[in-house]
Amino acid sequence: MAKDVIVACDFADAKTTIEFLDKFENNGRKPFVKIGMELYYAEGPSIVREIKARGHRIFLDLKLHDIPNTVKKTMAVLSRLDVDITNLHAAGTSAMMRAALEGLTRDDGTRPLLIAVTQLTSTDREALENEILIKEPMENVVMSYAENAKNSGLDGVVCSPLEAAKVHEVCGKSFLTVTPGVRFADGDKGDQKRVMTPHEAREQGADYIVMGRPITAAADPCAAYMRAVHEFLEE
Ligand code: C5P
């Protein structure tokens, strides 16, 4: 799959989401859409089907983490929704990741891409050491989880654009890096701390950038989206 800009549709309901996507009706390029927990838990699978029917590709960001059998059966349900990318927590172990892949693979051998969350960017060193009781430096933890994901057969990881180049070095160029924490150079950072511009993320080799508020809260979301596409894909 080629590089792309994914728009995080972090809205509370279907109505707001569809009103937002309506703004792209006459845009030549339909955004790749990320549906997260808030929207999915509010509206259920119907919102996935509706957005898919409108011609968007979908990253279903539900971050599964449970025993292998439960994750396998849940992934089988998600694969019927025909999303393009979905994900889980690498902390669920290699056994869980392999089970997830099995569940996600349809009878004809096709499946959505499956990527892993390594460590959430909201987890800092202190929490890692004092609560999760991992004493290793954060970068080692992220790279080790990325390697586990790769060895389990997954397609890539969600990571900071600052980690994309290192993940490619450790796991190979074809292992996908999907990176949130992207902001325009002249934009508001919001609650994101370590950010990069779409152009910088491109230079780091990120495969997909995820942008939410810089596009969803822009006065002209289409223009903001096309700016991200232009900067990231140099189109
Ligand atoms: O609005 P903003 O561009 O910050 O949105 C980023 C999106 O990426 C949100 O949906 C957020 O939940 C998600 N995300 C993130 N950092 C991670 C993992 C996911 O910002 N480490």
pLDDT at 121: 80
pLDDT at 1: 55
Rounded to whole angstroms, the Cα distance separating 132 from 126 reads 9
Which residue numbers in the chain have pLDDT < 50?
Answer: none
Domain around 147: 4-233
pLDDT at 59: 98
Q: Is 161 in the pocket of ligand 1 (CB under 6 A)?
A: no
Out of 63, 135, 189, 193, the active site residue is 63
Task: Write the pLDDT tens digit of every residue in 124-143.
Answer: 889 999 999 999 999 999 99
Rounded to whole angstroms, the Cα distance separating 226 from 27 reads 9
| Most ligand 1 atoms within 8 A of CB, residue of 128, 157, 210 to mutate | 210
Q: Are 58 and 9 in contact (CB under 8 A)?
A: no
pTM higher than the cut 0.75: yes
Domain of residue 182, CATH code: 3.20.20.70
**Domains: count for the chain:** 1
DSSP state of 109: S
pLDDT at 64: 98
pLDDT at 190: 78
pLDDT at 234: 85
Residue spans of beta strands (DSSP E) within the chain: 4-8, 32-36, 58-64, 85-89, 113-117, 156-158, 176-179, 208-211
Q: What are the residues whose beta carbons fall under 8 Å from the beta carbon of 203, sequence distance 6 or more?
A: none
Q: 113-117 and 4-8 as β-strands: parallel, antiparallel, unpaired? A: unpaired
Task: Write the pLDDT tens digit of every residue in 148-194.
Answer: 999 999 999 999 999 999 999 999 999 999 999 999 999 888 777 77
Place of tokens 């979301």: 221
Q: Is 120 in the pocket of ligand 1 (CB under 6 A)?
A: yes
pLDDT at 161: 92
- Distance, CA 158 to ligand 1 centroid (Å)? 10
